[in-house]
Amino acid sequence: MNIFGKLMWFFRQNKRLYIVGLFFLFLTEISQMVSPALIGRFTDQVVSRTLTVENLVFYAGGIFLFALLMYVFRYAWITHIFQGSALLEKTLRQQLFDHYMKMDTTFYQRHRTGDLMAHATNDLSAIQRVASGGILMLVDSVVVIIFTVISMVIVVDWRLTLIGVLPLPLLVLGVRYLSPKMRQAFTSAQEAFSRLSNKSQESIAGVKAIKTLGQEMADVAVFESQVKDTIQINKRVALIDSLFGPMATVIMTISFVIMMTYGGSLVLNDQITIGQLVSFSTYLGLLVWPMFGLGQLFNVLERGNASYIRVQNILSEKSAIIEDEEGVVEQAKGDLNININQFTYPDGDPTKPALHNVEITVKAGETLGIVGRVGAGKTTLIKLLLRQFDGYTGDIRVGDVNIKAYTFNAYLKSIGYVAQENFLFSTTVRDNIRFSDINKNQRDVMLAAKKADFNEDVWSLPDGYDTEVGEQGVSLSGGQKQRLAIARALITDPEILILDDALSAVDALTEKHILGTLKSERREKTTIIAAHRISSVMNADEIIVFDHGEIKERGTHASLIARNGWYAEMYHQQQLATELEDKLSGKGVSDV
Ligand SMILES: Nc1ncnc2c1ncn2[C@@H]1O[C@H](COP(=O)(O)OP(=O)(O)OP(=O)(O)O)[C@@H](O)[C@H]1O
């Protein structure tokens, strides 16, 4: 029951809907009480042969009128109460989605996507049922039981009522016994569903890897065993659920048997009339659904409560990245000063920081190149620039303002970021490019695509800029995806453009072309390029070489070559590899 208390904030917010809804529910129940009384009177007049035509019209008209009123009242309460519950689902869904959007990277490492989806679907539906079916069952059951019992006492006989309803508390005991079992079973069913949906998501996302490694059968077997598991657990839910109904039926049958024996004897002793016994039987019939309702109510409340706790637990998780909502709202602009003493990932080894003593200054309009071996810390530095992690000592400043002092909007809108692998939304090429500002026109979109050397590719797609891409659309090559992502970042002309190995899938000539365009188009703006290919960074104003999270070498291309360290070695190796490739492709051509 305490789920109603937990949802009180919502009922208070929407009290008008619920008061009006409950008022009409009340009227429906009152109207329901009239017909059995009229039927009893009618029966008595039939038995005593005193029924007149006027009386018949009165009873039939009365029953019909109240049926009609019940129809209207029922319509009114259903629309109000169900509207309320839809509103609750919408409010919680919005809260949950806002929360998901605000959470940091570690949140998504802690929670699997399938679980987060299950909270947003199954859990919210279970809570919604509390605010609709739950309220209905509670009020309907309690009010109908009270009204029916009062009507039984007034219209029939208090002794018969007392004995007739005596078995009903058994139902409450039964429900109390079964409810905790139901809650346990339901929680495991939800968990099993989460596991299953995680598994399907992972298998679908990793289907290529599964097929290439010949693991289809093994994966199907794992899935099948999880399905079996889920079915087993759900069977238990169904089993416990199915005990509620028969229990109510058995208890109601006892009441009917009492009515037949004790009620029959009262009629024989002339203490009540046959009509009253008929009324009693009809009233007893009215109690069947509220009894079922009570049984169901506990289920709905248990499920709703378990779901509400899960959703609240998620909502109470705090993001490690806190926005300074009172912070600087002017767009971040100016020189970039990076001064990081130390950064360790939240789950990383504190003795081996991912970054250590990193001091870099990039003047507005300059280009910074970042290179280094695999796992050296290039992407980590970029994650800190993107405010994906805040737990470092030292500071990062843009335009002499700490990046943590900006509002998210002011800071992140100044940044354009392109990763090696980029997510495409299931929409057109045009809308993917103008994703950050859907009001950009075709000219802006095309200009950005041209700068990213992507415009010509778009025209070779089936519907040009209207071509649907993403999961449901045509497949783009790795290089095309990267260039689309570069166009998406360039469309806002960001103050700081960050390319994290974002040219790895394009050929040398295209890379040269894009870098040339960036240099001429972004004279006033800062560009940061992290790459494995030296050719991507060799024209940068400063190049940083990372090793084990520290800066090992720094300078311009010429000075680094002269230094003859890791950078020079990599450069020469890559030069040799390119020359070899050129020779091989030249040979290939002459062979044809
Ligand atoms: N989310 C994370 N949690 C814990 N450790 C991480 C996380 N991401 C990266 N690391 C670790 O931090 C170190 C630096 O990784 P980073 O991704 O910055 O390297 P990188 O230079 O970008 O490598 P690559 O060239 O492969 O992209 C590595 O040891 C890596 O294992």
Domain at 300, CATH number: 1.20.1560.10
Residue 321 included in any domain = no
Among residues 315, 348, 383, which one ends one of the domains? 315
pLDDT for 137 equals: 83
Does 389 sit in the ligand 1 pocket, CB within 6 Å? no
- In sequence order, what are the residues at sequence separation of 6 or more whose Cβ sits closer than 8 angstroms to the Cβ of residue 272? 156, 157, 160, 263, 266, 280
Close Cβ partners of 497 (under 8 Å, ≥ 6 residues apart): 415, 416, 417, 418, 489, 490, 518, 522, 525, 526, 527, 528
Query: Span 535-561, mean pLDDT?
Result: 95
Confidence of residue 434 (pLDDT cuts 50, 70, 90): very high
Q: Tell me the best of 109, 374, 380, 417 to mutate to test the pocket of ligand 1, counting ligand atoms within 8 Å of each CB and taking the most.
A: 380
If asked whether residues 443 and 394 sit together in one domain, one would say no
Q: Which residue's CA lies nearest to atom 17 of ligand 1?
A: 379
Q: Which of 177-181, 279-283, 337-341 has the highest mean pLDDT?
A: 337-341
Both 444 and 475 in one domain: the answer is yes
In a domain, 518, yes or no: no
* pLDDT for the residue 589: 42
Instruction: Please indicate, yes or no, if residue 323 is contained in any of the structural domains.
Output: no
Are 485 and 502 within one domain? no
Q: CA 408, CA 405: separation in Å to the nearest integer?
A: 9
Cβ–ligand 1 contact at 275 (below 6 Å): no
Contact 141, 292 (CB under 8 A): no
- Mean pLDDT across 58-83: 91
Both 268 and 346 in a single domain? no
Residue 314's nearest CA partner among 99, 114, 101, 88 is 99
Cβ 380 under 6 angstroms from ligand 1: yes
Among protein residues, the one whose CA lies closest to atom 6 of ligand 1:
345
How buried is 80 (Cβ within 10 angstroms: 0-12 exposed, 13-18 middle, 19+ buried)? buried
Q: What distance in angstroms lies between residue 532's CA and the mean position of ligand 1's atoms?
A: 14
Kindly state the percentage of the chain with pLDDT values over 70.
98
Q: Is residue 218 in some structural domain? A: yes
Judge if the beta carbon of residue 385 lies within 6 A of ligand 1.
Answer: no
User: Could you read off the pLDDT of 354-386 as tens digits, one per residue?
Assistant: 999 999 999 999 999 999 999 999 999 999 999
Work out the mean pLDDT of the chain and round it to a whole number: 89
For residues 230 and 368, state if they share a domain. no
For residue 419 and ligand 1, the question of a CB distance below 6 A is answered with: no
Q: What is the mean pLDDT of residues 491-507?
A: 93
326 Cβ closer than 6 Å to some ligand 1 atom: no
**571 Cβ contact partners less than 8 Å away, ≥ 6 residues apart:** 534, 538, 557, 560, 561
pLDDT band of 401, cuts 50, 70, 90:
very high
Please give the distance, rounded to the nearest whole angstrom, from the Cα atom of residue 401 to the centre of ligand 1: 27
User: Tell me, what's the pLDDT at 1?
Assistant: 64
Q: Which atom of ligand 1 is nearest to the CA of 105?
A: 1
Statement: residue 255 has pLDDT above 80: yes
Tell me if 379 CB under 6 Å of ligand 1. Answer: yes
Provide the pLDDT confidence category of residue 250 given band limits of 50, 70 and 90. confident
- Specify whether 559 is located in the same domain as 574: yes
Asked if residue 557 belongs to a domain, the reply is yes
pLDDT for 321: 85
Between residues 339 and 101, the one the model is more confident about: 339
Least confident of 164-178, 303-317, 332-346: 164-178
Question: Does residue 342 belong to any structural domain of this protein?
Answer: yes
3-class secondary structure, 288: helix
Q: How far is the CA of 378 from the centre of ligand 1 (A)?
A: 8
Q: How far is the CA of 97 from the centre of ligand 1 (A)?
A: 28
Identify the three-state secondary structure at position 275.
helix
Q: What is the pLDDT of residue 288?
A: 72
pLDDT at 518: 92
Q: Considering Cα of 471, then 477, then 478, then 482, what sign does the dihedral take?
A: negative
Q: Which of 468, 493, 518 is the last residue of a domain?
A: 493
Same domain, 196 and 93: yes
Both 73 and 164 in one domain: the answer is yes
Is the Cβ atom of 418 under 6 angstroms away from ligand 1? Answer: no
* DSSP symbols for 333-391: -S-EEEEEEEE--TTS-TTS-SEEEEEEEE-TT-EEEEEESTTSSHHHHHHHHTTS---
| Secondary structure string (H, E, C) spanning 149-216 | HHHHHHHHCHHHHHHHCCCHHHHHHHHHHHHHHHHHHHHHHHHHHHHHHHHHHHHHHCHHHHHHCCCH
Nearest CA to ligand 1 atom 23: 375
pLDDT at 370: 97
Q: How far is the CA of 276 from the centre of ligand 1 (A)?
A: 82
Are both 398 and 478 inside the same structural domain? Answer: no
Q: Residue 313 has what pLDDT?
A: 92
Q: What is the CA radius of gyration of the chain?
A: 36
450-469 pLDDT tens trace: 999 999 999 999 999 999 98
Asked if 4 and 67 count as a contact pair (C-beta separation under 8 A), the reply is no
Residue that is last in its domain, among 251, 280, 315: 315
pLDDT digits (tens, 9 = 90+) for 42-66: 998 998 888 899 999 999 999 999 9
Considering the domain boundaries, does residue 195 fall inside one? yes
Whether 409 and 478 map to the same domain: the answer is no
Whole-number Å distance, alpha carbon 69 to ligand 1 midpoint, is 70
429 domain residue, yes or no: yes
SS3 291: helix
- Taking each helix axis as running N to C, give the angle between helix 216-258 and helix 168-205, from 0 to 180 degrees, rounded to the nearest 10: 170
Shortest-distance atom of ligand 1 to CA 381: 18
| Beta carbon of 353 within 6 Å of any ligand 1 atom | no
pLDDT digits over 9-52, tens only? 998 998 899 999 989 988 988 888 888 889 888 998 998 888 89
Could you tell me the CATH number of the domain that includes residue 488? 3.40.50.300
User: Domain residues for 483?
Assistant: 423-493
Residues 62 and 136 in one domain: yes
Alpha-carbon distance of 172 to 174, in angstroms, equals 5
- Whether 558 is in the pocket of ligand 1, judged by its Cβ within 6 Å, is no
Regarding whether 181 and 138 lie in a shared domain, the answer is: yes
Distance of CA 376 to the CA centre of its chain: 35
Helices (H), 259-358: 264-268, 274-315
Domain count, the chain: 3
> Measuring from atom 19 of ligand 1, which residue has the nearest CA?
375
24 close to 78: Cβ distance less than 8 angstroms: no
